[in-house]
Amino acid sequence: MAEIKHVAALSKLGLSAAELKRYGEQLGAILSYIDQLAEVDTSQVETATRLGENFNVWADDKATPWDDGGRQIALEQTLEMKDGQVKVPRVLE
């Protein structure tokens, strides 16, 4: 129970006591099933190579105007606007 509370806190999820109990049991069962991975010999696996043929793709860090109406839609998704800015709840005293 202490462990599931810790994981919920790390996950930033506010859960009821009933939820903690239920998810704790379910996650326990899922992890027991996943534990079968321990039987696989992975001593020879070089995980660094899993990047395979991937490559870095670079782009200039340059602001471009967003003027196709999308900006307005994006701003409308917020709770409150003030002076063209998103107003969020006060979080600092």
Partner 1 sequence: MNLNQLTIKEARKLLDKKEISAVELTRACLARIKATDKKIKALITLCEKQALDLAHEADGRIAKGERGALLGVPYLVKDNILTKGVKTTAASKMLENYVAPYNATVIAKLNSAGAVLLGKTNLDEFAHGASTENSAFFTTKNPWDLKRVPGGSSGGSAAAVAADFCLFALGSDTGGSIRQPASFCSVVGFKPSYGRVSRHGLMSMTSSTDVIGPMTKTVADAAIVMEVIAGSDKYDSTVSREKVDDYGKNIAKSIKGLKIAIPQECFGDELSGEVKELMQNAMAKFKELGAQVTEISLPHTKYGVPVYYIITPSEISSNLARFDGFRYGYHSEVKKGETLNEIYLKNRGEGFGPEVKRRIMLGTYALSAGYFDAYYKKAQSVRMLITQELNAALQQFDVIITPTSPHAAFKIGEQNQDPLQMYLEDIFVSGPSLAGLPAVSVPAGFINNLPLGLQIVGAKFQEALVLQVANNFESATEWHQPKAKI
Binding site for partner 1 (CB under 8 A): 4, 7-8, 10-15, 19, 23, 26-27, 29-31, 33-34, 36-38, 40, 42, 45-47, 49-50, 54, 57, 59, 69-71, 73-74, 76-79, 86, 88-89, 91-92
| 82: β partners | 85
The CB-of-44 to partner 1 minimum distance in angstroms stands at 9
Please tell me the distance from the alpha carbon of residue 82 to that of residue 91, in angstroms, as a whole number: 17
* Dihedral sign (CA 26, 19, 89, 71): positive
Please tell me the distance from the alpha carbon of residue 72 to that of residue 66, in angstroms, as a whole number: 9
Between 12 and 82, whose beta carbon lies closer to partner 1?
12
The CB-of-31 to partner 1 minimum distance in angstroms stands at 8
Count of H-run helices and E-run strands, the chain:
3, 2
The CB-of-82 to partner 1 minimum distance in angstroms stands at 13
